[in-house]
Structure 1
Amino acid sequence: MTIHRRTIIGAAVAAAAIHARPASAAEVTLRYAGTLPTSHHNAIGQQRLADRVKELTNGEVEIQVYPAGQLYGARDIPTAVVSGGVDMGHNLTSVWSTDAVAEIPDLPFLFADAAHAERCWEPAGPLHRGFAAHVERRRMKLIHTMFFGSLFDFGNNGRLIREPADLRGMKIRGYGRLSAEGLRALGASPIVMSPGEMYLGIQRGTIDGAITGVTSLESRKIWEVVKHATITGAAFGVMAVNISMARWNALRPAHQEALMKAGEEVYRWAAQESGRRDVHSTQFLIDKGIETLVLSAEQKATWAQAFAPAAAAWESRASAEAKQLVEEVRALRRAA
């Protein structure tokens, strides 16, 4: 075979390879870490964001989704995002930072209901604005939030928790500083452990129970190792989806716009889905034979009084900015 003939054949093979490539080959790939089981609506929200961004960018941006702690544990994700170990991640706001602004969703009974929380966290709302500014100072960009739903709900093996006094002497898993202060105010001993450790901790008797969201009592199968559940609705969990500022700045404006648009759509979906899932998971516990109590309005008022020391502790360390945000949240509640 002559050199000329080999050249023609080589060129033909190369041309065929080029035409065989997908027409929408991604020019940007982002890795997105989460920790919730694939059945949880926040993990589904991860995939919804990926699918919508791919659609909006005609396949130019691919988000590779890693739920269920496949890449990092919950408390490792913030460092991984900032350092470049992963491009994006989601976490409860109070896991991204221990600053008082990040703890606002954990303030006991701050939100009247899910509709009130939605107004506060929508892209133009005070809490979205405040948290976005906070994480930007930490070299991250807030893409959107997702509602986790009801939080500070109990699963335990000791007794049904009807009132704060029932918690005295119990070792209960918490998830952050304010939740630990809340448990102490209620008379329990807080034990901080990652979400993935709750099941074995309860099963082995290391802890008597755990606070988490009612959806996690179902999706993390905590119902298998507890006899009682109390749905307090004391806090409203919010998952923040952040990308490193360095990675964000490297994106083309059109890709940035697609991420934000898709993020707002997922936010709206999650706001509705979280409420539906809270109701479903509560009924799921009842159907599984778990003795389950949902606090009434009168019971919530009693619990709110017991939480007062934790609220005061937050107030003592909160900046003027954080306090102003809480006032805006309360104003929206009064205006409803």
Structure 2
Amino acid sequence: MSVMNRRTILGAIATTPLWLGSSAWAQASTLKISHQFPGGTVSEGDFRDRLCRMFAAEVEKRSKGSLKFEIYPGSSLMKTNSQFSAMRKGALDMSLVPLSYAGGEVPEVNIGLMPGLVTSYEQGYSWKNAEVGKELNRILLEKGIVVISWIWQAGGVASRTKPIIEPEDARGMKVRGGSREMDLILKAAGAAVVSLPSNEIYAAMQTGAMDAALTSSTSLISFRLEEVSKALTTGRNSAYWFMFEPLMMSKAVFDKLTKEQQSVVMAVGAEMETFARKSAQLDDSAVAAVYQKVGAKVVDLTPAQVKKWQAIARTTAWKDYGDKNANCANLLALAEKTL
């Protein structure tokens, strides 16, 4: 390299504004948010899609346009079960996905759909600032995931035949549990389990490949499962099925943001939690009317019935999870403190 060329290059570097090095990437950022739920608008549709759109609009506004977002509903960007792994690798920016879907890859995350461990919204949302939430956050950060919004949803059971209320009601039925741990208590109750993401439930029930499915109240509505169901067990009064379904960001992507952008993302994410909780609880009630309208039998669980399922969970799902590794055992013990 000639002296002149070298001087020219060094001079250019020396006079380059510092902001180009620290913020140029962020200023030009358009982040992709993927999820499996039906798409809508900010004001209408599945609240999880609405939450993503509200989050995107507010972050763009507060970051003065330095962060923009593209929303990909209905698994249109990538397959549902690929999202968590893609975020860990930095191949996907953000996703709102049930954490337990990644249980095969990171066993600790199955705490997010542990039957009978969370039995109310108050308890679920208390995790964020409790020891269990801090430990779960630590593990997820180690795995390359940043939790942006804590979202909990109660679940119910849609059935093609009879309602599943007591554990013995599941005997002989083909049922979708939604996680390894849910599957374990269903097996203990005498059911045959079917594993698939919530956006594939409709087709399985329509063909008879599955008799019943446990899923969130919102999914029971959004995926139009009333069209293939004759019975519904709601989660509106009592539930043994609560799912942790956070809005998450790839840590590799988060770390590239400026401190100001990181602060905006986390602040808006926390603000979305009030909307999420209210929306989930509204859907817990709304789902009953949706199913009653088509003539399905709708039933609610009593606290005593929840305790029956919880008793099975303690000796099957909880034990299996706690035996996985030291992290799982610790998370379970910390979660039990919130009961």
Q: Indicate the SS of the match to 1:295.
A: coil
**Equivalent-residue separation in structure 2 for 1:63 and 1:163 (angstroms):** 44
Show the counterpart of 1:246. Answer: 252
User: Aligned letter for 2:252?
Assistant: A
Unaligned 5+ segments in structure 2 are 1-25, 40-44
CA distance in 2, matches of 1:288, 1:240: 32
Are the aligned partners of 1:42 and 1:146 in contact in 2 as well (CA < 8 Å)?
A: no
Structure 2 CA distance, aligned partners of 1:155 and 1:139?
35
Query: Structure 1 49/218 Cα, relative in aligned 2: closer, same or farther at 3 Å?
Result: same
**Does the aligned pair in 1 maintain the 2:234–2:284 contact within 8 Å?**
no
Matched, 1:210 2:217: no
Q: Which residue in 2 is equivalent to 1:9? A: none
Cα distance in 2 between the residues matched to 1:316 and 1:84: 31
Distance 1:318 1:290, change over 3 A: farther
Question: What's the CA shift for 1:112?
Answer: 3.7
User: Within the alignment, does 1:302 sit opposite 2:336 as a pair?
Assistant: no
Contact 1:214-1:282 within 8 A present in 2 as well: no
**Counterpart residue number, 1:33:** 34
Give the TM-score of the pair, scaled to structure 2.
Answer: 0.83
* Deviation of the 1:53 alpha carbon: 0.3
Residues 1:316 and 2:318 are matched in the alignment: no
Q: What is the RMSD computed on CA atoms of the aligned residues?
A: 2.0
Q: Cα deviation per residue 1:22-46 (whole Å; 9 max; x = unaligned)?
A: xxx9621101101112322111111
The aligned runs of 1:51-66 (5 Å cut-off) are 51-66=57-72
Instruction: Please list the CA deviations of residues 129-172 of structure 1 after superposition, one character each: whole Å capped at 9, or x if unmatched.
Output: 2222112222222222222x112x21111222231111111111
> What is the Cα deviation at residue 229 of structure 1?
1.3
Q: Structure 1 CA distance, aligned partners of 2:292 and 2:66?
A: 46
- The within-5 A match list for 1:150-169 is 150-151=154-155, 153-169=156-172
For residue 165 of structure 2, what is the amino acid of its counterpart?
R
In the alignment, the residues of structure 2 paired with residue 323 and residue 253 of structure 1 have an alpha-carbon distance, to the nearest angstrom, of 35
How far 1:189 sits from its partner (Å)? 0.6
Aligned runs of 1:1-336 on 2, under 5 Å? 27-38=28-39, 39-98=45-104, 99-121=106-128, 124-147=129-152, 149-151=153-155, 153-231=156-234, 233-307=239-313, 308-319=315-326, 321-333=327-339
What do the CA deviations read for 1:162-191 (whole angstroms, capped 9, x no partner)? 311111111112322112112112211111
Q: Distance in 2 between matches of 1:174 and 1:235?
A: 9
- Quote the offset at 1:306 in angstroms: 3.1
SS at match of 1:36: coil
Give percent identity, aligned residues only: 21
Secondary structure class of the residue paired with 2:255: helix
Secondary structure of 2:32's counterpart equals strand
The C-alpha deviation readout for 1:297-326, integer Å capped at 9, x for no partner, is: 12212222233322222222252x444444
| Equivalent-residue separation in structure 2 for 1:130 and 1:76 (angstroms) | 24
The answer to whether the Cα contact below 8 Å between 1:185 and 1:310 also exists between their aligned partners in 2 is no
Tell me how far 1:199 sits from its aligned partner.
Answer: 0.6
Q: Note closer, same or farther for the CA distance 1:79–1:101 as it changes in structure 2 (3 Å cut).
A: closer
Instruction: Provide the rounded CA distance (Å) in 2 between the counterparts of 1:103 and 1:206.
Output: 25
Match of 1:14 in 2: none
Secondary structure class of the residue paired with 2:151: strand
AA aligned to 1:28 is: S
- Please tell me the residue identity of whatever aligns with 2:134: R
| Aligned AA (1:109) | G
The CA deviation string for residues 261-315 of structure 1, in whole angstroms up to 9 with x for no partner, is 1110112221222112211222322233211111111221222223332222222
Q: Distance in 2 between the 1:328 and 1:179 partners?
A: 20
Structure 1 unaligned residues grouped into runs of 5+: 1-24
Q: Deviations over 1:207-240 (max 9, x none)?
A: 1121111221111101100101123511211112
